[in-house]
Amino acid sequence: MPHSHHLLKGGVFATTMAIAALSGTANASGFAIVETSTSGLGNSFAGGSAGADDASTIFTNPAGLHFIKRKGAKVVLGASVIVGDIDFDDEGSTTVLGQNLNVNDEEGGNGGTVALVPNFYYSRAINDKWQFGLGVNAPFGLATDYDDGFVGRYHALESEIKTVNINPTLAYKVNNDLSLGFGINVQYIEARLTNAVDLGTICAVGQLQGQVAAGTCNALGLQPQADDSEAEVEADDISYGFNLGLMWQANDATRIGLAYRSQIDHDLEGDIDFDNPNAGAAMFASAINLVDGDAEASVRLPDTFSVGVHHQVNSAWSVVGDLTWTNWSVLDTLEIEFDTGAADSVTTFEWEDSYRYSFGVNYAPNQDWTWRFGVAYDETPISSSGNRTPRLPDGNRTWISAGFSYSPSENMTIDAGYAHLFFDEADINLSTSEAENTFRGNLNGTADLQADILSIGARWTF
């Protein structure tokens, strides 16, 4: 058990903010979102870096703009509805004092949420050599929301992160078989997180350590797990990155793509607010520096590299595949600064790089219809149950998807896709032996997860 005075005063404040920069329903590894187009969902986004079905290639590989079959200016509009399901099964969680960590025998209900993820793309030719494109989507984000009686309420209640990425691009045609692409990314990030703060346990531990005067807890009416404050953190930032792409028509049947998206460094600025249940709790929270104030946190979002293949088997059938690496190991530690006098916080994530493997099949019996099918395996970057948080109970997942495109006219196409995601069980074993969890408790259990994604979109050529 830690004995430093500054940890008692700033520990809960610091660890609340430590998650703030990184939390909201993600369906790629970590908190990445791959639902960047409706047409891609039908293939589980297989072959995206070699695909050129429509202007959504701006995000997956801007070099693909030269390989889109339909000529003229192009517009793509789409939206995906993500329905997440997270059920936590408690396996003996306790406070640092050894008390059972639970309220009204509630384990949190369904921590999953329903999220809407829209996207927009526009492209047009500048001349025979150059294409311009503009994409707007959400490459990172997730959301979890547990009941107030959640056994892990001191670790997480509500978590939401949103990003908006604006991506102007240029593509240059080297020759009929080779194209290069480049883009700038202007990215906005916004985070909101809440969790309960166990003032009763903090007071009791302080008395045991001699850092809080004897009798204080009784005088203020504070009891462990009975007088919880609720902390809310909100922060945002705008930052910049880039993406590169190469697409090569190796022969009449096979197209190969390479795509890279850079890291983006965000310096979030925001505030933390505490909602105390009574006057005694408010007095104690103020005395230990758990007060409203400003905070800053820096986070580095990972870069990615993809290799994709599109192979035309015959006039009706084609197969696609993709391998994507995500550099999640950049999330090693997170440092947070406060304006309240609390010490800086350093939180260790120890995430690992992850890979996504995908394969898909397309069937186009005529010019009006295309049917798509796909599977994918997406690795989690979380290396152990000891650093998996209920804010993001991520696990390895398998995708199964299907979709179609229908063209009612020469200049319009309607897209639809559906995917179901099967997750491995996600064990959570957070221990009070780690300083950041001292007053959050030993959270032990298993999260059962699944997700469904439905996407609808349309595209026009002018």
**What is the phi-psi region of residue 349: left when phi exceeds 0, alpha when psi lies from -120 to 50, beta otherwise?**
alpha
Residues 6+ apart with CB under 8 A from 208: none
The answer to whether 272 touches 293, Cβ cutoff 8 Å, is yes
Looking at the structure, give the CATH architecture of the domain made up of residues 5-461: Beta Barrel (2.40)
Q: Please tell me the predicted confidence (pLDDT) of residue 69.
A: 87
Domain positions in the chain: 5-461
Q: Please tell me the predicted confidence (pLDDT) of residue 348.
A: 65
d(CA 150, CA 27): 23
Chunked mean pLDDT (size 10), the chain, 462 residues: 32 30 53 90 94 93 94 94 91 92 67 91 96 96 88 91 95 97 97 90 94 94 94 92 98 97 95 92 91 87 96 96 95 73 63 96 96 97 89 93 96 97 94 88 93 96 94
Q: Please tell me the predicted confidence (pLDDT) of residue 12.
A: 33
What is the pTM assigned to this prediction?
Answer: 0.90
| Residue 162 φ then ψ, to 5° | -130, 140
SS3 of the chain: helix, strand, coil, percent, to 5: 15, 50, 35
Start-to-end C-alpha separation, the chain: 67
Structure tokens at 183: 């883009």
DSSP H or E run through 287? helix 279-287
